[in-house]
């Protein structure tokens, strides 16, 4: 088949080169966006008198027929035509004749592919934002159900202080709220029309880029044609947002893995979202959570792939940039799948409230409450900290918990300690007392829930 650049060449393209340079095997997923952009471009060409209205109508009709064929699985994609753009254009010319050959007027594949990717990413970013929102709603529902469930909070994976399970879950809701904000903010830089920059220098023809921008729902058109065709910042930014988002999902997945162990015993994940062993009949493995954790490295790799791809490219367009699509597509698919499976898995989890409450009171987790009790009695915090440390050390030596120590023993460490210290050693009381803004007390957590109900 004749290449679009055949006028300049005297030798046929090697079949090896066709196989090596083709991108249709992966960029065919852009067909909807390519056709949508082409229809808008044809309308603009007709509006500007560059082609006739009849030609534009024939182009649109032909493109819609091609769209129906692709949708029905009847379209034959050809490797020798390299990419989605040439596959569609060649079929259009075959269908409608000379008018089809006019479609590529005042554009290049350089700005055309930039358009397709921006349209694709805009759509997928909005879908990801929607999935994040659904996950937030799921977390909020679970948090609201567990406003009275106490668990140990951790630092360094060591028991630290009692907290509400709701408070812990809302921490993840906060994380992915930031993720949602980052994706929404990235749309501002994504939503810029590249079409009309042509190969790199614009065109001598009287095009109307503002018209095309309006047709395709872009806020504005790009301002510099060289930057336009060489820019993949929007893709790098998307991947960066995806990396941070999947990091948060991975952290949550890691906790689900830990919590589902016999050692923790905090949760049981539904049978529907676990797997067994091929040799050990007793096993129930949290494979879904593990795979979310594992796929995080894959998305990180995709970001590094694109950053490395772009770091040494001179202006403007280079064929290296064809390699942007596989990491981009893979990231979209992977992140969407992780969000979907996490959102589906969480409602079926059961929480072992008794186990969580029991462990919340162990490990001297209310030691800080003693220190703050002493502060309220007028003891400077550093002294209070030291006194409490000595109390904890004494308990460790005696192999008892804080609530098991006698008042007489406590007074030996500080005479200001009275029997009113004992209520502060109860994990539930400890949680209730932490009513500072953003704290873990039920009153504060309910405020957080109320705030997120408004946001979501």
Q: Which residues of 139-158 are buried (b: 16+ CB within 10 A; e: fewer)?
A: bbebbbebeebbbbbbeeee
Q: What is the pTM of this model?
A: 0.93
Euclidean distance between the first and the last CA atom of the chain, given in angstroms as a whole number: 54
Q: What is the pLDDT of residue 153?
A: 97
Q: What is the pLDDT of residue 5?
A: 54
Q: What is the pLDDT of residue 411?
A: 93
Q: Is residue 428 helix, strand or coil? A: helix
Domains recognised in the chain with CATH numbers: 15-105 (1.10.275.10), 110-357 (1.20.200.10), 362-455 (1.10.40.30)
Q: What is the pLDDT of residue 1?
A: 60
Q: Which residues pair with 163 in a beta bridge?
A: 151
Q: E strands along 280-435, which residues?
A: 350-351
The CA distance from 2 to 101, in Å, is 13
The CA distance from 307 to 52, in Å, is 43
Q: Which two three-digit tokens encode residue 395?
A: 């308990």
Which residue of the set 6, 25, 277, 443 is catalytic? 277
Q: What is the pLDDT of residue 14?
A: 80
- Predicted confidence pLDDT, tens digits, the chain (456 residues): 666 656 666 667 787 887 788 999 999 999 999 999 999 999 999 999 999 999 999 999 999 999 999 999 999 999 999 999 999 999 999 999 999 999 999 999 999 999 999 999 999 999 999 999 999 999 999 999 999 999 999 999 999 999 999 999 999 999 999 999 999 999 999 999 999 999 999 999 999 999 999 999 999 999 999 999 999 999 999 999 999 999 999 999 999 999 999 999 999 999 999 999 899 989 999 999 999 999 999 999 999 999 999 999 999 999 999 999 999 999 999 999 999 999 999 999 999 999 999 999 998 999 999 999 999 999 999 999 999 999 999 999 999 999 899 999 999 999 999 999 999 899 999 999 999 999 999 999 999 999 999 998
Strands 192-193 and 220-221, sheet pairing: parallel
Q: Which residues pair with 161 in a beta bridge?
A: 153
In degrees rounded to 5, what are phi and psi of residue 433? Answer: -75, -20
| DSSP string for residues in 125-148 | HHHHHHHHHHHHHHHHHHHHHTTT
The CA distance from 240 to 244, in Å, is 6
Residue 156 appears among annotated catalytic residues: yes
The CA distance from 86 to 20, in Å, is 16
Q: Which residues pair with 157 in a beta bridge?
A: none
| 401 burial type by CB count under 10 A (0-12 exposed, 13-18 middle, 19+ buried) | middle
Which residue of the set 11, 156, 278, 436 is catalytic? 156
């Amino acid at each position: 088949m004749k290449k679009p650049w055949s006028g300049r060449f005297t030798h046929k393209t090697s079949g090896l080169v066709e196989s090596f340079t083709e991108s249709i095997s992966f960029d065919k997923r852009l067909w909807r966006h390519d056709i949508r952009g082409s229809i808008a471009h044809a309308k603009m060409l007709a509006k500007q008198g560059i082609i006739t209205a009849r030609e534009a109508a024939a182009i649109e009709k032909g493109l819609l027929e091609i769209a129906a064929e692709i949708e029905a699985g009847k379209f034959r994609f050809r490797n020798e035509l390299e990419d989605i753009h040439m596959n569609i254009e060649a079929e259009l010319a075959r269908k409608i004749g000379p008018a089809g050959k006019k479609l590529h007027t005042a554009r290049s594949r350089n700005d055309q592919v930039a358009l397709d990717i921006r349209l694709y990413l805009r759509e997928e970013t909005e879908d990801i934002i929607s999935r994040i929102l659904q996950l937030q709603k799921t977390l909020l529902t679970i948090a609201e159900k567990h406003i009275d469930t106490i668990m140990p909070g951790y630092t360094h994976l060591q028991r630290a202080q009692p907290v509400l399970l709701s408070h812990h879950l809302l921490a993840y809701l906060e994380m992915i709220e930031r993720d949602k904000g980052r994706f929404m903010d990235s749309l501002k830089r994504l939503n810029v029309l590249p079409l009309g920059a042509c190969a790199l220098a614009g065109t001598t023809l009287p095009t109307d880029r503002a018209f095309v921008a309006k047709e395709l729902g872009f806020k504005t058109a790009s301002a510099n044609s060289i930057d336009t065709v060489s820019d993949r910042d929007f893709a790098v930014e998307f991947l960066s947002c995806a990396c941070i988002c999947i990091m948060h999902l991975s952290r949550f997945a890691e906790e689900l893995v830990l919590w589902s162990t016999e050692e923790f015993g905090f949760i049981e994940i539904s049978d529907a979202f676990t797997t067994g062993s091929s040799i050990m009949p007793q096993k129930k493995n949290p494979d879904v959570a593990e795979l979310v954790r594992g796929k995080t490295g894959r998305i990180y790799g995709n970001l590094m792939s694109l950053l490395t791809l772009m770091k040494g490219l001179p202006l403007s367009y280079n064929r290296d940039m064809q390699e942007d699509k596989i990491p981009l597509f893979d990231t979209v698919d992977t992140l969407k799948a992780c969000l979907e499976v996490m959102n589906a898995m969480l409602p079926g989890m059961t929480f072992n409230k008794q186990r969580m409450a029991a462990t919340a009171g162990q490990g001297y987790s209310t030691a800080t409450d003693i220190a703050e009790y002493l502060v309220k009695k007028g003891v400077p915090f550093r002294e209070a900290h030291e006194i409490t440390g000595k109390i904890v050390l004494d308990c460790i030596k005696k192999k008892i918990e804080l609530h098991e120590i006698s008042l007489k023993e406590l007074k030996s460490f500080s005479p200001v300690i009275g029997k009113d210290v004992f209520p502060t050693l109860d994990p539930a009381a400890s949680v209730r007392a932490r009513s500072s803004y953003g704290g873990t007390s039920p009153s504060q957590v309910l405020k957080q829930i109320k705030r997120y109900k408004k946001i979501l």
